[in-house]
């Protein structure tokens, strides 16, 4: 199992963690000056969690870029957002001590650009892209952990001969396709036959521009190898199907030291690709978690990623005892923040903020109020529909009150067209997120069932 604190072993830590903390306190006899930390896309939910972090009394958190511009849309004007952020930072009357974020694209890719301009800490843009550019990332992974990645190839969805070329690479049905840069499961498709591929290509050609245009702007800011320059944001990946029990290893790199610190299980609805809930801590065997930690240290050291948080998604095929690396994300998972707070005592935003300030993360372990915690995705499986009714504030509060510590975040309102929701997979629509804690996984699931009985959404379903 991952070590209890910071994921390191005695051989890699010069003195015990509690001793490091004691020495740190002794070396700071006076109260530090307030630090100004700017968070891209800061919303109220996460602002409250940030204010409960260790040392937060000495930090002023400032929002940078409206969260609606980076999260509630699929149209990303990265040059415009960077200018907006730079103007606000240049006008700020005080020190700019850190710039951070907890969201996926485009926030993750804007951070190195902003931090470089204002002299704050994060990883380099090139090392970040070695993780986020899916073809580059797979190529780097193949160099050091080839037995734990699937067969893959890049293809141009606008090439009418793309399918034969994929076959020439050694891939055969079934395989999975997704954009070179995406987030969540957006524009990801399982391909079992040529008809599936034609359907996926039609969708990719129609929608990939919303990703490729902003991502190509980021690629233009980086120094890329020639073999990567030719595989720009308009390209896609085809990969061998991998599967098993899915999980995410949350970790960070501090001054070159790679530290995995927690594993979260990702549990899907039966027979579909849509996520049902995230569970922390993981139920995977300790030896499997340890092997994932070893792989994590190997690949993240190889990328050159440094002084930033990350997470890596894995599959464990229980039948063959095979571990597969699915993808690397260059930030904490915001979906996991409440889980860590419930189980460990504070949100893993602690890692993000400490690293941005140049500190070794001071992340507690198992000091929270709950043994387990989950984030549930309350979904509908329509082809499309329009929302005609949602629970009101009083109904939401009544549902939350059924289980103390529950937080419900509806993702729709009356009039919402489900197909207009951002960050959805190809098979369902998440209409609410529900965070809960409990004594056990079984009790957590029981509590969830009681809560959703009080949530009544209505839809006008397409014929």
Q: Is the pLDDT of residue 86 over 70?
A: yes
Beta-strand pair 59-64/35-40: parallel
- Cβ 379 vs Cβ 366: under 8 Å: no
Q: Which two tokens stand for residue 403?
A: 């289980």
Percentage of the chain with pLDDT > 70?
A: 92
The residue that leads in pLDDT, 183 or 349, is 349
Task: Report helix, strand or coil for 275.
Answer: strand
Average pLDDT, the chain: 91
* 311 contacts 248 by C-beta, under 8 angstroms: yes
At residue 383, the pLDDT reads 86
Cis status of the peptide bond prior to 174, with omega within 30 of 0: yes
Percent of the chain at pLDDT > 90 equals: 83
Q: For the segment 196-235, what is each residue's pLDDT rounded down to a tens digit? A: 999 999 999 999 998 999 999 999 999 999 999 999 999 9
Q: Which long-range contacts (CB under 8 A, 24 or more apart) does 401-406 make?
A: 402/447, 402/450, 402/451, 402/454, 403/436, 403/438, 403/447, 403/450, 403/451, 405/342, 405/369, 405/370, 405/436, 405/437, 406/434, 406/435, 406/436, 406/447, 406/451
- Phi/psi of residue 386, each to 5°? -115, 135
At residue 21, the pLDDT reads 32
Q: What are the backbone angles phi and psi of residue 363, rounded to the nearest 5°? A: -95, 120
Average pLDDT of the residues in 95-116: 95
pLDDT for residue 18:
32
What does the domain layout of the chain look like in residue ranges? 10-131+242-356, 151-240, 372-461
pLDDT at 25 (0 to 100): 40
Per DSSP, the residues of 61-81 read EEEES-HHHHTS-S---HHHH
> For residue 443, with 0-12 CB atoms within 10 Å meaning exposed, 13-18 middle and 19 or more buried, which class applies?
middle
Q: pLDDT class for 54, splitting at 50, 70, 90? A: very high
CATH architecture of 372-461: Alpha-Beta Complex (3.90)
Least confident of 26-40, 97-111, 193-207: 26-40
pLDDT band at 426 (very low <50, low <70, confident <90, very high): confident
Q: What is the pLDDT of residue 462?
A: 75
Q: What would the mean pLDDT of 305-326 be, rounded to a whole number?
A: 98
**How far is 123 from 418, CA to CA, in rounded Å?**
37
pLDDT at 186: 77
What is the predicted pLDDT for the residue at 183?
A: 67
pLDDT band at 152 (very low <50, low <70, confident <90, very high): very high
The pLDDT confidence band at residue 322, using thresholds 50, 70 and 90, is: very high
Distance (Å) of CA 424 to CA 2, 165, 221, 306, 380: 31, 29, 28, 30, 11
Nearest to 451, CA basis, from 392, 417, 404: 404
Helices marked H in 76-121: 78-91, 107-118
Q: Which residue has the higher pLDDT, 450 or 19?
A: 450
User: How big is the chain, counted in residues?
Assistant: 463
Residues 240 and 169: beta-carbon distance below 8 Å: no
Which range among 30-34, 35-39, 283-287, 313-317 shows the weakest confidence by mean pLDDT? 30-34
What was the pLDDT predicted at 23? Answer: 33
CA distance 198 to 201: 5
Which pLDDT does position 302 carry in this prediction?
Answer: 98
> Who's near 421: CB < 8 A, 6+ residues apart?
411, 412, 429, 430
pLDDT at 24: 39
Instruction: Give residue 30's pLDDT.
Output: 54
CATH number for 10-131+242-356: choose from 3.30.470.20, 3.30.1490.20, 3.20.10.10, 3.40.50.720: 3.30.470.20
Residues 414-427: what's their mean pLDDT?
Answer: 86
Query: Which of 3.30.1490, 1.10.3470, 3.40.50, 2.60.40 is the CATH number of 151-240?
Result: 3.30.1490
pLDDT at 2: 59
pLDDT at 237 over 90: yes
Per-residue pLDDT at 73: 73
Per-residue confidence (pLDDT) for residue 12, from 0 to 100 = 33
* pLDDT the model gives residue 463: 66
Q: In the chain, how long is the greatest CA-to-CA distance?
A: 69
Q: How far is CA 194 from CA 197, 271, 405, in A?
A: 5, 22, 48
Average pLDDT over residues 272-300: 96
Taking the whole predicted model, whether its pTM rises above 0.85 is answered as: yes
Q: CA 57 to CA 125: how far, in whole Å?
A: 31
pLDDT tens for residues 10-33? 333 332 333 333 333 444 445 568
* Angle subtended by helix axes 78-91 and 209-219, to nearest 10: 50
16 C-beta neighbours (distance < 10 Å), count: 11
């Amino acid at each position: 199992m991952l070590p209890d604190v910071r994921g390191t072993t005695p051989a890699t830590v010069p003195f015990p963690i509690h001793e490091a903390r004691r020495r740190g306190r002794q070396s700071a006899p006076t109260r530090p000056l307030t630090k100004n930390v700017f968070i891209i896309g800061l919303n109220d939910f996460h602002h409250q969690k940030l204010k409960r972090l260790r040392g937060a009394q000495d930090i002023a958190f400032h929002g940078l870029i409206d969260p609606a511009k980076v999260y509630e849309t699929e149209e990303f004007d990265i040059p415009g957002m960077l200018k907006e952020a730079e103007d606000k930072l240049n006008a700020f009357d005080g020190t700019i001590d850190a710039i951070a974020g907890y969201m996926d694209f485009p926030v993750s890719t804007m951070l190195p650009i902003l931090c470089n301009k204002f002299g704050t800490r994060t990883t380099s843009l090139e090392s970040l892209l070695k993780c986020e550019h899916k073809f580059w990332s797979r190529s780097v992974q193949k160099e050091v952990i080839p037995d734990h990645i699937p067969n893959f190839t890049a293809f141009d969805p606008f090439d009418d001969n793309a399918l034969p070329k994929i076959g020439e690479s050694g891939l055969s049905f079934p395989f999975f396709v997704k954009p070179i840069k995406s987030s969540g499961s957006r524009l990801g498709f399982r391909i079992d036959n040529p008809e599936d591929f034609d359907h996926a290509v039609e969708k990719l050609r129609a929608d990939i521009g919303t990703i490729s245009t902003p991502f190509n702007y980021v690629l233009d800011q980086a120094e890329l190898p020639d073999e990567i320059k030719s595989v720009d944001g308009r390209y896609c990946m085809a990969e061998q199907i991998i599967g098993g029990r899915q999980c995410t290893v949350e970790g960070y790199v501090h001054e070159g030291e790679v530290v995995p610190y927690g594993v979260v299980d990702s549990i899907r609805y039966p027979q579909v690709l849509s996520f049902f809930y995230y569970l922390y801590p993981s139920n995977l065997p300790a030896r499997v978690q340890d092997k994932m930690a070893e792989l994590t240290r190997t690949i993240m050291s190889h990328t050159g990623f440094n002084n930033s948080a990350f997470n890596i998604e894995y599959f464990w095929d229980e039948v063959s005892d095979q571990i597969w690396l699915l993808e690397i994300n260059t930030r904490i998972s915001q979906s996991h923040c409440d889980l860590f707070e419930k189980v460990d005592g504070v949100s893993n935003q602690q890692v993000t903020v400490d690293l941005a300030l140049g500190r070794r993360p001071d992340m507690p372990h198992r000091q929270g109020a709950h043994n387990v915690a989950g984030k549930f995705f309350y979904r509908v499986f329509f082809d499309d529909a329009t929302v005609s009714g949602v629970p009101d504030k009083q109904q939401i509060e009544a549902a939350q009150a059924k289980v103390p510590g529950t937080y419900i975040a509806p993702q729709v309102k009356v009039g919402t067209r489900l197909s207009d929701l951002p960050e959805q997979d190809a098979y369902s629509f998440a209409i609410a997120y529900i965070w809960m804690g409990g004594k056990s996984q079984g009790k957590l699931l029981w509590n969830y069932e009681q809560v959703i009985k009080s949530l009544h959404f209505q839809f006008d379903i397409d014929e």
